[in-house]
Structure 1
Amino acid sequence: MIRRPSGRPPHGPTSCARKADALLACDFIETVTLNGQRQYILAVIEHTARRVRVLGTTAHPSATWVTQAIQNLVMDLDDAGCRARFLLRDRDGKCPAIMDEILAEADIKTVLTGIRMPRMNSIMERWVQSCRRELLDRCLLWNERHLRHALREYEHFYNQHRAHQTLNQAAPLRPAPDPITDPGRIIDLNIRRRDRLGGVLHEYSHAA
Structure 2
Amino acid sequence: MAADFFHLDTAPGHRLYAPAFLEHGTRRPHITGVTAQPSREWVVRQARNAAAGLGVRIESLRFLLRDRDGKYGPAFDAVFQAEDMEVLLSAPRAPRMDAHCERVTGTLRREALDHVLVMNEAHA
Structure 2 Cα separation of the partners of residues 116 and 137 of structure 1: 27
Pair 1:45-2:45 in alignment: no
Q: Which runs of 4+ in 1 moved over 3 A?
A: none
Structure 1 Cα separation of the partners of residues 107 and 71 of structure 2: 22
Out of 71, 96, 121, the residue aligned to residue 94 of structure 1 is: 71
Out of 18, 21, 33, the residue aligned to residue 10 of structure 2 is: 33
- With the length of structure 2 as denominator, give the TM-score of the two structures: 0.91
Structure 2 Cα separation of the partners of residues 131 and 81 of structure 1: 23
RCO higher in 1 or 2 (8 Å CA, sep ≥ 6)? 2
Decide which moves more: 50-59 or 80-89: 80-89
CA RMSD of aligned residues (A): 1.3
Structure 1 Cα separation of the partners of residues 116 and 91 of structure 2: 33
**1:61-85 residue CA offsets vs partner (Å, 9 max, x unmatched):** 11111111111122222x2333211
- With the length of structure 1 as denominator, give the TM-score of the two structures: 0.56
Query: Which residue identity does 2:24 align to in structure 1?
Result: H
Structure 1 or 2, whichever has the larger Rg, is 1
Report if aligned partners of 2:51, 2:58 keep a CA contact under 8 Å in 1: no
Pair 1:113-2:62 in alignment: no
**1:124-154 residue CA offsets vs partner (Å, 9 max, x unmatched):** 011011011112222211111111xxxxxxx
The aligned length equals: 123
State how 1:37-186 maps to structure 2 within 5 Å: 37-77=14-54, 79-83=55-59, 84-147=61-124
Structure 1 Cα separation of the partners of residues 49 and 35 of structure 2: 15
